[in-house]
Every structure is written in C-alpha cells, then in structure tokens.
Structure 1
Amino acid sequence: MNKRLKHSLIAGGLVVALSATGGTVWALERFVVPHVVVDDVAAYEAAQNPTASATESATTSAPAEVTDTTYTSDDASIEITTHTQGTGDDTVTYYVADVELGDATRLRSAFAQNQFGENITDLVSNIATDNGAVFAVNGDYYGFRDSGIVIRNGVVYRDQGAREGLVFYEDGSVAVYDETETTAAELLADGAWNTLSFGPAIVEDGAAVAGIDDVEIDTNIGNHSIQGEQPRTAIGVIGDNHLVIVVVDGRDTGYSRGVTMTELADIMVSLGATTAYNLDGGGSSEMWFNGEVVNQPSNGGERATSDILYLAG
C-alpha cells in the first residue's frame, strides 16, 4: 500500500473494517479513491478571479525579514510563540501564531496537489512549499466530506451548506455563519475571500461557547471521537486583519495531553480572541513556518491533509 493510500485510510481518525462485500467498494470510493473535480486549481482561480490570482504574486516594496519565530513585511507580520501549562501528566503544550495583515487577502488557502475534490491529500509541508508559503497551518480537511460551502481565494468550489462555517471577508472582517441559511454566491457578493467548514465556533463575543464539549462535529465515519483531550487547531479573531492561530499538541503524556474543546476556547480567550473557530485536529494539527514543522504532530510526523491556510513569503 502506498503512503498516500495509507494516509487516506486513516485520515481524520477513520477506522473502517473493510469486508469482501459491496461495502468495501463503497468505502474505498467514499474515503480513499481520489475524486478530482478541478485538476489545476491555480489556472482555475486565475480564470475565475484574475484579481485574486494577482494578489498572490504581488511583492512588497521592501524585503521581508524572517527570524526563527517572526516574519515581517510591508503588509503582514507573524510572531510565533510556544506555551506550556500544567505539569506531569497534565502538561499541555501549544503554539501560537499572532498574525497581522495589511491586506486580508494575504491569508490564502491551497489544496493538496493543486487539485480540488475528495480524498486528495498531501503533507502540509509539501503544499506550503509548492505555494511559496512562509507560514502554514492545516485547514478544515474539506476533502473528507462532500458537503459544506467552500470558497477559497475568492473562488467558489462547493455550495452545499451543512453546518456552522467561518467566513473571511476581503475587508478584514471574519464571521461565524450558518451555511444552511445562505449560498456561496451570496457570500461572494458580500466580499467573502475564504470560508472554512468544520467547527464548531468555540468563542463568541469574547467568551467560550457553552456546551461545545458535547458537539459532534461531523456525521462521517470516524469523526465521532473529537471529544475529550485531543490535539487541536483553532483560528481566532482579535480584530480586523488581526488573527491568532493556535495548534495544541496531544496524545503524548508528559509533553502534552491535548485539550478539550472548552480548554481550547479558554486558550483563545486568553489570547484576546473575540471569535474563534475549531479546525481539523488530531493527527492533522500542524503549524509550519519558514521550512520547518513547528509543533510535534501526534502521529510522530506529518499526516497528509487536503488543504492549508498560508501566507506567501
């Protein structure tokens, strides 16, 4: 079995007992076999939204400055810090990227292998490198499901509202919204730049959302075990064009046990987030900066995923 097939089988904690029946074919088709809808995303985005495509190639008037933990350019800055709380078996280690943007469209999305569809995956480091990123974090693993509104870099890819989503607008504002009460076209008309479809929202109006530890994120096979202490990724909003992205390591006693959803919300509030949203977690949780994996993914190494959020260098 090749590495990509193996990663597809275990993606998102998926554990499927395949039998020698029609169920085998169904499971392979649904969760393993790549289904390519757009085979050249870069060309597709350039055709659909030439202005958005040009944004990626824009250069700043002065060279960017990069250290082991910071990136500074004329229109973006990133500062990465490491935090540890608790002791012994109760230790939690997490990584924070404080991101300020001069232009909201500097935060971009990229798909694995420059393709859009289901079960198309690659390592965060590969996707980031392919797109000239200086910073990247795992996205919402859109390719593990066939629902949700997917708008990336100002282009619509999927319009199947199903859950609570997060939308980034070109004016720098960010909002949690109900996908079932709008359409991708309406969001785009209002200036949507990127959407994420995972969740739930974990912070609203500067406070942790009640009951989030009991929320079932998805009805897909294998997505029922996100409760409890887990590695996690979240993105929060401090203000317009001011974001905070957190990756919590987990499943490693003595180094980092992981956190509950409420504990994740509390971390986001402590960092000043007024709104925060949960992204794909577990073995997918990864922060990448300047050519290196910042955190320690729970798989012992990177796990392939379908998409990233990134800033180009």
Structure 2
Amino acid sequence: MFRRRKKIIVSIIVSLTIIGSTLYALADRYLIEHVEIRIDSGSAAASKETSIPSSASPAQWDDWNYKDDNQTVSIKKVQTGSGADTITYYVADVEFNNQTNLLTAFAKNAFGTNITENTSEIAATNNAVLAINGDYYGFRNDGVIIRNGTIYRNEPARDGFALFKNGSLQGYSEEQTSADDLLAEGATNTFSFGPILVDDGKIAGDFSSVRIDKNFGNRSIQEANPRTGIGMITPNHFVFVVVDGRNTGYSRGMTLTEFADLFKELGATEAYNLDGGGSSTMVFMDRVVNTPSSHGSERGVSDIIYIPKS
C-alpha cells in the first residue's frame, strides 16, 4: 500500500513539474518581456537618419489634416458596401516637401520580444502627428529589423520592405539581400511581415495562401481581416491604410487581394502588408481615428511607424 501511494505521489509531482514547465515555456515565449541587444554594424552609422529642422511657420491642423513647411497629412474615412459586406477603412495621404520625415519607434523605447504598448501611447511618447502600428517584430525572433539606421535583428525569413533616405519604399527578399547591402544602399528602416502587395506598379502575386510565421498554429492570412499597410505613390509621397474589421454591419475587413487592389487604386507603385487584426490602429494628433477590433480598444504592439511634429 505504501509503495503504491509513493508511486501516485511521485506521478503527481512529475505531472505538476511538466505542467509547470510547459506553462513557463508558454509565458516565456508569449508574455515575459525580453530586452535584446542590437546588432552593431560598421556601416550603420552612414545610414542613420538626421532630424528635420523645425518649421519656420506654425503648423496648421484640424481633425483630419495637418500641414507645416515640410509635410502635409490628409486623412479620409471611406465606407463601401452594405449590410454584412460593409467595409470601413482610413487612408492617410502623406507628402514631404524637402526631406522624408518617416520614423519608427519601439514600445517602451526598448527592442525585444513581448515588449508592448498601445500605438497611441508610443505615438504620444514620440510626439507624433500620425502613427500606425508596425510589423509587430516582437512576436517573433526572425526577420531583418533595421530601425532608424541600426540593425537590431538579422535572421532572414520572408519578404521584407525597406524605406530609403531618398524617400522611396521597396520590397525585397530577406534571404537574397543582406542587411549590410541595404544600409549601403541607404536603407533607414525595414519591416518584416508581408506580403508585398504592389511591386513596381503591379499587384505582387497570388495571395490565396499566405503564411507569415512558420511556428505551430499559424494559418493563411488571406481571409477578410482588419488590415494595416503602407504604400508609396512616388518618393516622399506615401499612403497609410488601416482597415477596420470583425464588426458586422460596420466593417468586415478586407482580404489580402482586396487590400492589394486598394493600394493600386490609390496609385501606389509599392505597397506592403503590416501586422493586422486587433493590432490595426491609426492615430492622428493623439486621437485614435479608427475602431480597433480588439474588444473595442487598442491592442498592445511592439512598434509603430510615425511622422513627428515639426
């Protein structure tokens, strides 16, 4: 009898140990913050961005527009369809006169996994005129992540998107173009999500089965969902698009095919899909202009793309 009880107790202890180890591993992967050290690069300094001089005349703005000496931002809300097929989205048209003033920022000003803040919080910290959520690099540990001229991660995995000092955006293969080559060409920021939606003025491909992450449980992201994307019409002329979704009668979201078609209709010659779903958020002058789908409020993200106030 004693030996039997002992075996049962040992079995229970082993089971609890396994469960505890599993729970910790899950928490470590998805919940516990891990600050990572950036990767130094000899060529990184050459691509670091410089700050834009303050405007000589005061900026002017209202609820949907902003203008100063260097940048003009105009946002419009668009609603199409009806009933269950209604789609609501927001387009921010951005033009720079002299120098690209498109920057990125990390949640809590720290690079790493599971470090998150709401898009509006990161935007406020960085005095942003306009901000959208980025690629949520912190959910994964691969990809090529260059931010404001510094390499933070160099683990090629998918098609990326790069912003260059001359105000152009371009899709590229992380596995075919090195981070150092990107810096040498003048890249200041890269994003690792995807897919590329528009390439050289043409729809980039077939989006019927797209998987961004290869870890267990991930599926195709083609179906109708909230979306965030960025496109270039010409150098220094960009469009940011945020699509609401998962809200019947207000907005069902867009498929990737619809999203690519929208960017092409807007005149984008290059466009890229960023993190969507509950992350999709657009902030303008400290106001969240869209309706995020994460239980009616924002979901924390690891990074934003933004335009600072001059």
State the Cα distance separating 1:132 from its structure 2 match: 0.8
Contact 1:104/1:169, CA 8 A, preserved across alignment: no
1:126 equivalenced with 2:121 (yes/no): yes
Cα RMSD between the aligned structures?
1.9
CA distance in 2, matches of 1:152, 1:94: 27
What's the secondary structure of 2:272's corresponding residue? strand
Distance 1:186 1:209, change over 3 A: closer
What's the secondary structure of 1:106's corresponding residue? coil
Contact 1:154/1:188, CA 8 A, preserved across alignment: yes
Contact 1:137/1:287, CA 8 A, preserved across alignment: yes
State the Cα distance separating 1:22 from its structure 2 match: 2.9
CA distance in 2, matches of 1:213, 1:259: 13
State the Cα distance separating 1:224 from its structure 2 match: 2.0
Distance 1:49 1:102, change over 3 A: farther
What TM-score, normalized to structure 1? 0.87
Q: 5 Å matches for 1:278-293?
A: 278-293=273-288
1:16 is matched with which residue? none
1:26 is matched with which residue? 25
What TM-score, normalized to structure 2? 0.88
Higher mean alpha-carbon deviation, 217-226 vs 150-159, is at 217-226
2:303 is matched with which residue? 307
State the Cα distance separating 1:104 from its structure 2 match: 4.9
CA distance in 1, matches of 2:208, 2:290: 24
Letter in 2 for 1:20: I
2:208 is matched with which residue? 213
State the Cα distance separating 1:172 from its structure 2 match: 1.2
What's the secondary structure of 2:25's corresponding residue? helix
CA distance in 2, matches of 1:54, 1:202: 29
Deviation track 1:248-273 (CA, whole Å, cap 9, x = no partner) reads 00000000001100011111111111
Unaligned runs of 5+ in 2: 1-17
State the Cα distance separating 1:51 from its structure 2 match: 8.7
State the Cα distance separating 1:25 from its structure 2 match: 2.2
1:13 is matched with which residue? none
Letter in 2 for 1:27: L
Report the identity percentage. 49
Given candidates 129, 134, 156, the residue that maps to 1:161 is 156
State the Cα distance separating 1:54 from its structure 2 match: 4.7
Deviation track 1:267-302 (CA, whole Å, cap 9, x = no partner) reads 111111111110000000000001100100011111
State the Cα distance separating 1:225 from its structure 2 match: 5.2
1:101 is matched with which residue? 96
Unaligned runs of 5+ in 1: 1-18
Contact 2:49/2:188, CA 8 A, preserved across alignment: no
CA distance in 1, matches of 2:99, 2:28: 37
CA distance in 2, matches of 1:222, 1:279: 19
CA distance in 2, matches of 1:295, 1:202: 22
Distance 1:174 1:51, change over 3 A: closer
List structure 1 segments (4+ residues) > 6 angstroms apart after TM superposition: none
Specify the structure having the higher radius of gyration (Cα). Answer: 2
CA distance in 1, matches of 2:178, 2:26: 29
2:34 is matched with which residue? 35
CA distance in 2, matches of 1:183, 1:195: 12
What's the secondary structure of 1:194's corresponding residue? strand
1:6 is matched with which residue? none
